[in-house]
Chain A
Amino acid sequence: AQTVTQSQPEMSVQEAETVTLSCTYDTSESDYYLFWYKQPPSRQMILVIRQEAYKQQNATENRFSVNFQKAAKSFSLKISDSQLGDAAMYFCAYNGGSQGNLIFGKGTKLSVKP
């Protein structure tokens, strides 16, 4: 069975600094999809970034980028120029593609200090 592990329950970053959130996963599939979602206190799940496993190039979305290491089964999220609005729970998620459902890690709570 596939699993997703986020080893950092909480992280803190100074405003305007850079922070990296870690995620590892376990799968025997070769094609799959990885996501980072953000959940602020409003509880709305917001897509941050998506990575297809067959793509070697790391995905980027403005201040958000990933470091995807397929062989190591690692998928970390880097947030540059952190803003107060980035404070939230961040969940790493895996989709094997056949059933369509997401398997989530336990989440990392990110605090941003002014």
Chain B
Amino acid sequence: SAVISQKPSRDICQRGTSLTIQCQVDSQVTMMFWYRQQPGQSLTLIATANQGSEATYESGFVIDKFPISRPNLTFSTLTVSNMSPEDSSIYLCSVTRDSTDTQYFGPGTRLTVL
């Protein structure tokens, strides 16, 4: 399994601002994903972060709201833009070697928007 870190671990932000979350892996991985977990809910996939190309977004998530970068095989960022209280959630990144392999998760970023 991979060792995955996320920064920040938590943050409290004001409405209308943006926050960038970083995900760092200790080894090269093929696939990286970003999930959202709203309070008391399950995990929902936001997008697949593709190295060297635009991320692939799930229905209901758009690039203008959740821009994603993946400059190399060990690092990705997710930005939550123009935040509102409805964006208060835990954001988790996950990694896997290929589409059939087990996914391993980072520790998550708890975001509160006031």
Contacts and interface: CB of A to CB of B under 8 A. Distances in A.
Interface of A: 33, 35, 37, 42-47, 50, 91, 95, 97-107
Nearest to A31: B100
B41 interface: yes
B43 A102 contact: yes
A95 B43 CA distance: 14
Interface in B74-114: 90, 92, 94, 96, 98-105, 107-108, 110
A50 B102 contact: yes
Contacts of B41: 106
Contacts of A33: 100
Chain B contact patch, size range = 20 to 34
B43 A91 contact: yes
A99 B99 contact: yes
Contacts of B107: 42-44
Interface of B: 1, 31, 33, 37, 41-45, 48, 90, 92, 94, 96, 98-105, 107-108, 110
Secondary structure class of chain A's binding surface, majority of residues: loop
Contacts of B108: 43-45
A100 B31 contact: yes
Nearest to B92: A45
Given A33-B100, A45-B108, 8 more contacts: A37-B105, A45-B105, A91-B43, A95-B103, A100-B31, A102-B94, A103-B45, A106-B42
A97 B99 contact: yes
A41 B74 CA distance: 27
Contacts of B99: 95, 97-100
Contacts of B43: 45, 91, 102, 104
Nearest to A101: B45
B77 to A, nearest CB: 19
Given A43-B90, A100-B48, A35 B102 contact: yes
Contacts of A37: 105
